[in-house]
Each structure stands twice: as C-alpha cells, then as structure tokens.
C-alpha cells in the first residue's frame, strides 16, 4: 500500500493527516515529530539504565530487533515464553519509570484516535538496525483487551505490515516515517502486524537505527 492508497480520515488546520487502517486503527502521520528531541533523549536515558538486548524466542531464536522497556512492566521473552515482568531479568531491578514525554505522547495520540481513557503501564522500546524485522504477530499478552496499542516511530523509515484477525489475511504495507504514530484497538486490537526488514540509511536524530515505542496497558 502506498501513502496515496491509504484512506484519509481527516486533515486538521495545521495539516496533520489521519488515515484509517482498519476499523479501530489509524495512522497519525507525523504526530510525534514536534516532540522528537525530548522523546529521543528519553529513549537514550532509558537505554542507559536498561540497555538494548536481543531477546530469545520460546522457540530458541535470537530476535533481530533489540529491545528494552520502561514503565511498571516490561515485555520479555525467553525459553519459557512471552510475558510482562516488573523487573529487568538481566538485573532483577525495576524498569525505569515511563518518561513524562512518553506518557503524554501516548495518551494524546490515543485520544486523537478515539481512545480517551488509555493509560499505558508498559512501554516496549524496539531498536531496528538494517536487516532487523518483526514477523507477523498479535499483541496478546496484555490483560485488558479494551486498551489499544499505541506505536511511535522515530528515525529510519520502515514498512509496517497490518493484516487482519487471521495470520493468513491480506496485509497492507504501510510506510512509517519519523514521527508517525499508529494506534490500533477495538475491532482491530488483535490484528496481525509486523515490520519488514529495515533498509540501511542514516537519520539525523537516530543515526543508523529505527526506534519504535509501543505503549500498552499490560494489566
Ligand atoms: C511491535 O509490533 O511491537 C512493533 C511495531 C513496530 O516496530 O512498528
Ligand atoms: Fe506488536
């Protein structure tokens, strides 16, 4: 799917465009851009505390995306499965608190997307280097199905795959650029999604990486 093929839902006076991806799912083009410096500084602060690492899937594969977390809970994976943990398994200490800039962005984006009561308690920070990808999956380790997922893209561009309720459903290819925010919930809360292998490049803010923040209400 190209940018032009996305269906435009609204264009506000400042030029911010909202596109519909599915029922309950929207792309807020450039929504995070004006906050980029604060957001990225906070990513670096979180990573200084709990460094990015490549988790192992329950099947024993090392994930190509490097991850860390902030907030009350963090998403982790190992031989025992996927789950949320209140502590970083590498250190046994709590994850860093969710930076105010993250919380404010996630809640204002959710509100714009029609989810005014979203209060995230977990933020998974994904770091993609060239070649890193995320295969089609559902986000289903969270307890509250009413809360949406809010996903923020910073740095290098990527192609986001957004499918349907079944793994075999057709997937839209949505180009995500620096500052874009995708929110999915309600009827599309458990839709399959993924990210194609990142292409190389250099971004003025993030260098050779794409950073993605996904906000969830885990409990
Ligand atoms: C995810 O599904 O957790 C990440 C999506 C993305 O990197 O855009
Ligand atoms: Fe996901």
Could you read off the pLDDT of 41-62 as tens digits, one per residue?
999 999 999 999 999 999 999 9
pLDDT at 129 over 50: yes
The CATH fold of domain 3-216: Jelly Rolls (2.60.120)
Given a contact cutoff of 8 angstroms between Cβ atoms, the answer to whether 196 and 158 are in contact is yes
Give the model's pLDDT for residue 4: 45
100-112 pLDDT, tens digit per residue, is 999 999 999 999 9
Per the structure block, which two tokens stand in for 204?
A: 């003025």
Where helices occur in 63-219 by DSSP H, the ranges are 100-112
Spacing, Cα 194 to ligand 1 middle (Å): 6
**pTM to 2 decimals?**
0.95
Give the model's pLDDT for residue 5: 65
Any atom of ligand 1 within 6 Å of the Cβ of 214: yes
Mean pLDDT value across residues 141-147 = 93
Closest protein CA for atom 7 of ligand 1: 212
Given a contact cutoff of 8 angstroms between Cβ atoms, the answer to whether 145 and 189 are in contact is yes
Spacing, Cα 57 to ligand 2 middle (Å): 14
């Amino acid at each position: 799917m190209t940018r032009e093929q996305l269906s435009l839902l609204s264009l506000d006076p400042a030029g911010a465009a909202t596109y519909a991806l599915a029922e309950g799912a929207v792309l807020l083009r450039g929504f995070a851009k004006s906050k980029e410096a604060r957001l990225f500084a906070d990513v670096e602060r979180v990573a200084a505390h709990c460094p990015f690492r490549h988790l192992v899937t329950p099947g024993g594969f090392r994930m190509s995306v490097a991850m860390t977390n902030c907030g009350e809970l963090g998403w982790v994976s190992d031989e025992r499965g996927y789950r949320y943990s209140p502590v970083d398994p590498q250190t046994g200490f709590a994850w860093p608190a969710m930076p105010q800039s993250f919380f404010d962005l996630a809640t204002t984006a959710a509100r714009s997307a029609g989810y005014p009561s979203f209060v995230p308690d977990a933020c998974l920070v994904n770091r993609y280097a060239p070649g890193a990808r995320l295969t089609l999956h559902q986000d289903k380790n969270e307890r509250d199905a009413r809360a949406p997922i809010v996903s923020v893209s910073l740095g290098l561009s990527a192609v986001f795959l957004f499918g349907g309720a079944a793994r075999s459903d057709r997937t839209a290819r949505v180009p995500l650029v620096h500052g874009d925010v995708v929110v999915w919930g309600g009827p599309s809360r458990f839709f399959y999604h993924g990210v194609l292998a990142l292409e190389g490049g250099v971004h003025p803010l993030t260098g050779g990486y794409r950073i993605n923040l996904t906000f969830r209400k885990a409990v």
